[in-house]
Amino acid sequence: MYIGLTGYMGSGKGTLAKMLVDRGFKFISLSEIVRTQATARGLEHTRENLQTIGNEMRAQNGAGVLGMRVREEVLKGPTAHWIIDGIRNPSEAGELKKLDHFYLIGVTACKEILIKRLLERGRASESNATEGEIMDKIAKEQGAGEPETGQQISKCLDVVDYSIINEGTFVDLERKLNHFLGLLSGTERPSFDEIFMEISYAWAKRATCLRRKVGAVIAKDKQQLTAGYNGAPRGLPHCAELGGCLREKLGIPSGQRHELCRGTHAEQNAITQAAKFGISIEGGTLYCNTYPCVICAKMIINAGITKVVFDSNYDDALSKELLSSQKVLEVVRYEGRKFRAS
């Protein structure tokens, strides 16, 4: 078995790697290849130097070169379980996914916690940095200002097989790791969050939107109530039948001018299905593979739904402002086994 780790500095990848080493996994990091190159050049092993060298190696030899070299390295010796750290570009993940039984774990935490950990952990380059400087480093890891061959951790997190939000205790992190390993071995069942999010992704496969495939499920007391996906209203032709996406033709950015769209969002369809069939969704939880837009957010609140579990981000500033300022609805990021809409 091969387990890869990706995530931002301060997210806890090192702690997770140690847990796996304690379980008998052998450790290797893509950074080891970069450090070897830095030593050969006579350069200090600072984060900035290593980032620069890693970017140069990817630019010269292909974005997946570090993943390819680590893949070749772990295949040299006898069969073993490996933990592979330092995956920072999706092409590296792609190279490693060529290994049989490879699973990529994404480890995340909110920016406030990342900054706090980095200021406290004692590394000179971080403990002496300002919050603004650390945020700039995190943004660079995310991919801000980076070429496609550079660090693109946000894109790596889009292709993980399992997601862990590490904002709690060591015991919490170990429990989440044990759940992941239990899913692989068949000794644990999926959580209800994993079941309902998987169903939302299944419904997303029915979506007719040309931009984004979204599915939503409303559940209560561990039972599914309604579901929906995004596409044209009932009885109307789909956008593909009318020659393409209206929003694309008008050049409307994602997350803006929602009224200029022929489609009904997945969350809206799940709510209107409840009205159609007389199903009470008050007190329910809405699972959606995308963060809700502002129109959906207002409908969700007024429908009496008390929790939203979302997977991928959606760039709607007004929705985020509205949802962050209210207290009747809990909004949480999904973690667990990951799924794809197509």
Name the residues annotated as catalytic.
267
Report whether 84 contacts 28 (CB < 8 A).
yes
Residue 184 in tokens? 């692989």
Q: How many helices (H) and strands (E) does the chain have?
A: 15, 11
Report whether 13 contacts 5 (CB < 8 A).
yes
* Sequential DSSP letters for 318-336: HHHHHHHH-SS-EEEE--E
- Within 8 A by CB and 6+ apart from 76, the residues are none
Determine the distance from the C-alpha atom of residue 275 to the mean position of all C-alpha atoms in its chain, rounded to a whole number: 32
Ramachandran region of residue 130, left (φ > 0), alpha (ψ -120 to 50) or beta? beta
Q: Residue 129: exposed, middle, or buried by beta-carbon count in 10 A (0-12, 13-18, 19+)?
A: middle
Determine the distance from the C-alpha atom of residue 340 to the mean position of all C-alpha atoms in its chain, rounded to a whole number: 11
